[in-house]
Amino acid sequence: MSFMTDVRADNFQQAVIDASYQQPVVVDFWASWCQPCKILLPIMEKLAEEYAGQFHLAKVEIDQQQELAAQFAVRSVPTVKMVVNGEVVDEFAGALPEDQVRQFINRHLGQAKESPLQKALQTYQQGDTESALQQMQEVLLAEPDNPTVRIEFANMLMREKRFDDARDLLNSLSASDKQNPSAVALLTQLEAIDAVKDAPDIDALLARVEQDPGDYEAREQLSAHYKLRGDYAAAMDQLLEIVKRDRSYGDDAGRKALLKIFDILGNDHELVSEYRRKLARVLN
């Protein structure tokens, strides 16, 4: 089990904010050129292993993640921030000795208690849907500016097939919060649901494509069907075929839909690497 994560903008929500509701998250902002960082970072990594999950270490390389450094008002490195229940509760700058770092961590162990959000999610997992939805509504009223609440509530509503309510919640997110991978996945799922709502079934669409390989509407609808099934390779095959045949269709709809799937799966997914190469070959 890993007790540390290299954090980027695309995994920040999950690795720091969401994780901090389960355990304290120590965020270490560092840089490769920073000599004090070379002293502090090994100490942080050693303690993360030693504490074995009592806290999680999130490492942010500021030159590669300038937006995150700006968001957290990092003015020098190393800077370390303690995040508990979605909020920064403590911090220090500079390379403290190991005993002082231990004191910093120990002050906050055990603070990440079960939040109202976690209680609502647990109620839902136990099958008490109506109570969970009511609890989520109360959490939303209490934390209207918390994007995690909106995303988790939308996810719950999606599972209950309350798609319009889920869409309203997701659309109420700020532009930056809509880029959260969880939000992107839900919004893309809603798009796929809309695309197949009045569409023929897969067999009928496959017959259309066989008869007319340039039936791009059928290919888009096939891709939506496959996405809802979780068959992303098949979904991307249809979109890639649109890109091959006609970049101008739907204002480059095939390529844009491919990029959305890349965002859902994440840069480290093997399918993303494979289909990025395929897309590059087509575009060249």
Instruction: Name the token pair of 118.
Output: 């976690």
Strands 87-93 and 56-61: unpaired
Single out the catalytic residue among 7, 31, 34, 58.
34
Single out the catalytic residue among 4, 16, 37, 74.
37
The Cα 58–Cα 68 span in angstroms is 12
Closest CA to 140 of 131, 151, 129, 130: 151
3 is known as an active-site residue: no
| Residue 68 and residue 9 in contact, taking contact as beta carbons nearer than 8 Å | yes
The Cα 275–Cα 258 span in angstroms is 9
The Cα 98–Cα 66 span in angstroms is 27
122 is known as an active-site residue: no
**Mutual angle of helices 147-159 and 129-142, in 10-degree steps:** 160
Phi and psi (nearest 5°) for 25?
-115, 125
Strands 4-6 and 56-61: parallel
DSSP string, 144-157: TT-HHHHHHHHHHH
Q: What are the catalytic residues?
A: 34, 37
